[in-house]
Structure 1
């Protein structure tokens, strides 16, 4: 069965929870995005490369300047990771 066929039968709530507790995504993040996703974070130097780990539903888990740390945290939480480009 194609993913498109499966997702067409899911409610919006079911789709939002797909992969919850099992999958997380990692993406590079600009300092200008930090306050939106991580409101408690201090102001960050815009020249610093940042990496974020998010739960499948978009819940922020970790913000770091070390990409490897996102993989360590995901492994610690027993999450499979995917990268977004």
Structure 2
């Protein structure tokens, strides 16, 4: 099961977590590490492909596998509060 890397990390201003999160890349790497550890612990029977392994696979197959850091998964975050209807072939 492939796990794409985190591409967006957001903290509510009122929580004052900016200092805790630190630099963006380091925070994303820590988040990936935490998720990986939890998945391995909770579902050890699954063969997980974590972000580092996906990056290696993408480098080995440049025309076939996209760079997992450039896949735009942050766009999947529901924004604007409006619901969109998924068209027929994907419903």
TM-score with structure 1 setting the length = 0.30
Structure possessing the higher radius of gyration over alpha carbons: 2
Q: Normalized per residue, which structure has more strand?
A: 1
TM-score with structure 2 setting the length = 0.29
